[in-house]
Amino acid sequence: MTRSSKIFKYVGKRLLQGIPIILAIVVINFFLLNLAEGDAVDVLAGEAGSATPEYMAQLRAKFGLDQPLPVQLMVYLKNVATLDLGYSFRHDMPVSDLIFDRFAATGLLMTSTIILAVGFGVLLGLLAAMRLNTWKDTVITVFALITYATPLFWVGLMMIVVFSLKLGWFPTSGMENVAAFYEGWDRVKDIAVHLVLPTITLSLFYLALYTRMMRASMLEQYGQDYVITARAKGLTERRITFVHVLRNALLPVVTMAGVQVGALIGGSVIVESVFAWPGLGMLAFESLFARDLNLLLGIFMLSSILVIAVNLVVDIIYCFLDPRIEVS
């Protein structure tokens, strides 16, 4: 069997395995959310100021909230199978549309964060390991240590204080300057400028993590026997570092990157809230307090699928990097 057809089979198998997990998550969340007091209609009515019991009963019937729980769950699962994620009470829109709208914003933030965090993390870790115990190493290590200990929301706020309020280099919040009605490249630049602070904030913690991991991984590889063999062959230190050690050192870092995606989504709730970034994280937080069950479930499912998908991609990348792993 060729390697690529093996990989297709593997992907298919993993996707199949992911389904029961997603299902389990949805069921758990469904029951958890229903444990909370009151339901969406209570919240809606509360916001409207008042509502008669009849109106509330009507609303409940409309949204199917007067059915017993297991029935609601069954209905929901059936809908999910047909890709109907339900209706958001609060926003008065189908959930899938709502999620789709906001997904791009979060996707943008997360992608740029991963690139920054992994890319720079690996580079800094590599540099620190190569210049071990010199001032460069110390600076990088101390920087990573401190960054690793800082809370995400605080960094965001401090960034705003320094770079937005005091220096005026970047806008304080939002994804773009809606009032300006930019088009084309202007719009791209505008979004990019708004993207800078949130990305740096979200990526700092993970940057520190990858830096430390990469540095530790490189140091561990430097102590391996094959490095001595490589020296005994008369290779340059440059080749030893970049061709022999680096390739082996990257492996655990790649694995870690996959594991971190879930944490990244969690962090996006905070960053989006600090910077008023119009993404899924903020939406999830709002819908929690609005008891907007459908929306919340939809977001949960999406993030679970995202995590599974990213882990799958990471695993496949790993298979290409490490010939010892059998794709089976």
Partner 1 sequence: MQEFWGRYKRNRSAVFGLVVIILVVLMAGFADLLYAFDPFRLAGKPLSSPGTNGFLLGSDSLGRDVAAGIVHGAKTSLLIGLVATMVAVFIGVLFGAFSGYYGGRLDDLLMRVTEIFQTIPSFIFAILLVAIMKPSIASIVIAIAVVSWPSVARLVRGEFLALKNREFVQACHTLGMNDLRIMMREILPNCLSPIIVVGSLMVATAILIESGLAFLGLGDPNIMSWGFQIGAGRTMLRSAWWVCTFPGIAILITVLAINLVGEGLNDALNPRLRERN
Partner 2 sequence: MKTKLLDIRDLFIQLPAGADRQYAVQKVDLELTQGETLCVVGESGSGKSLTARAVMGLLPAPHVQVSNGAINFNGEDVTKASYDRLRDIRGSEISMIFQEPMTALNPVMSIGAQIDEIFRYHVDMPSAERWQKAITLLEDVNLPDPAHIMNAYPHELSGGQRQRAMIAMALALKPKILIADEPTTALDVTTQAQILKLIRDMQKANDTGVLFITHDFGVVADIADRVAVMQHGLVVESGSVEKVLNNPTHPYTQALIDAVPSLSPRKARSRSKVQVLSATDVCKTFGGGRGLFGFGVASREVKAVKNVTLDLHKGETLGIVGESGSGKSTLARCIIRLMDTDSGDISIEGTQINKLSRAEMRLWRNKIQMVFQDPFASLNPRIKVGDIIAQGPVTQGTSKIEADKRARELISIVGLDERSFERYPHEFSGGQRQRIGIARSLALKPEILIADEPVSALDVSIQAQILDLLEEIRDQMNLSMIFITHDLRVAAQVCDRLAVMRYGEVVETGATADIFANPQHDYTRDLLAAVPGKDWKSSAKPKKVAPKKKAPASTTKPKKKLATKRS
Residues that bind partner 2 (CB under 8 A): 13, 16-17, 224-226, 228-236, 239, 243-244, 247-248, 251, 321-324, 328
154 binds, among partner 2, partner 1, none (CB under 5 to 8 A by kind): partner 1
SS3 269: helix
Binding flag, residue 150, partner 1 (CB under 8 A): yes
What is the residue type of 141?
Answer: T
Q: Which residues of 181-193 are buried (b: 16+ CB within 10 A; e: fewer)?
A: eeeeeeeeebbee
Give the one residue of 10, 148, 182, 318 binding partner 1; rule: CB under 8 A.
148
**Residue 149 vs 167, nearer CB to partner 1:** 149
What is the residue type of 189?
Answer: K
Mark the segment that binds partner 1 (CB under 8 A) among 46-54, 96-104, 157-165, 194-202.
157-165
Binding flag, residue 271, partner 1 (CB under 8 A): no
What is the residue type of 52?
Answer: T
Binding flag, residue 252, partner 1 (CB under 8 A): no
- In the complex, least distance from residue 106 CB atom to partner 2, rounded to whole angstroms: 32
**Residue 102 vs 244, nearer CB to partner 2:** 244
Contacts of 185 (CB under 8 A, 6+ apart): none
Q: Is 156:275 a contact under the CB 8 Å cutoff?
A: yes
Own/partner pairs, 174-183, CB within 8 angstroms, 24+ separation: 174/275, 174/276, 174/277, 174/278, 175/105, 175/277, 175/278
In the range 46-105, which residues lie near partner 1 by CB under 8 A?
A: none
- In the complex, least distance from residue 166 CB atom to partner 1, rounded to whole angstroms: 9
**Residue 180 vs 259, nearer CB to partner 1:** 259
What is the residue type of 183?
Answer: E
- In the complex, least distance from residue 234 CB atom to partner 2, rounded to whole angstroms: 4
Helices marked H in the chain: 3-35, 40-48, 53-62, 69-81, 95-130, 135-149, 152-159, 184-222, 225-232, 237-239, 246-275, 280-289, 293-321
DSSP string, 84-122: ---EETTTTEEHHHHHHHHHHHHHHHHHHHHHHHHHHHH
202 binds, among partner 2, partner 1, none (CB under 5 to 8 A by kind): none
**Residue 92 vs 326, nearer CB to partner 2:** 326
- In the complex, least distance from residue 16 CB atom to partner 2, rounded to whole angstroms: 7
**Residue 124 vs 230, nearer CB to partner 2:** 230
153 binds, among partner 2, partner 1, none (CB under 5 to 8 A by kind): partner 1
- In the complex, least distance from residue 116 CB atom to partner 1, rounded to whole angstroms: 19
- In the complex, least distance from residue 218 CB atom to partner 2, rounded to whole angstroms: 14
**Residue 14 vs 91, nearer CB to partner 2:** 14
Binding flag, residue 308, partner 1 (CB under 8 A): yes
Give the one residue of 106, 112, 199, 303 binding partner 1; rule: CB under 8 A.
303
Helices marked H in 49-179: 53-62, 69-81, 95-130, 135-149, 152-159
Binding flag, residue 289, partner 1 (CB under 8 A): yes
Contacts of 173 (CB under 8 A, 6+ apart): 160, 275, 276, 277
Exposed, middle or buried: residue 140 (CB in 10 Å: 0-12, 13-18, 19+)?
A: buried
Give the one residue of 230, 265, 290, 293 binding partner 1; rule: CB under 8 A.
265
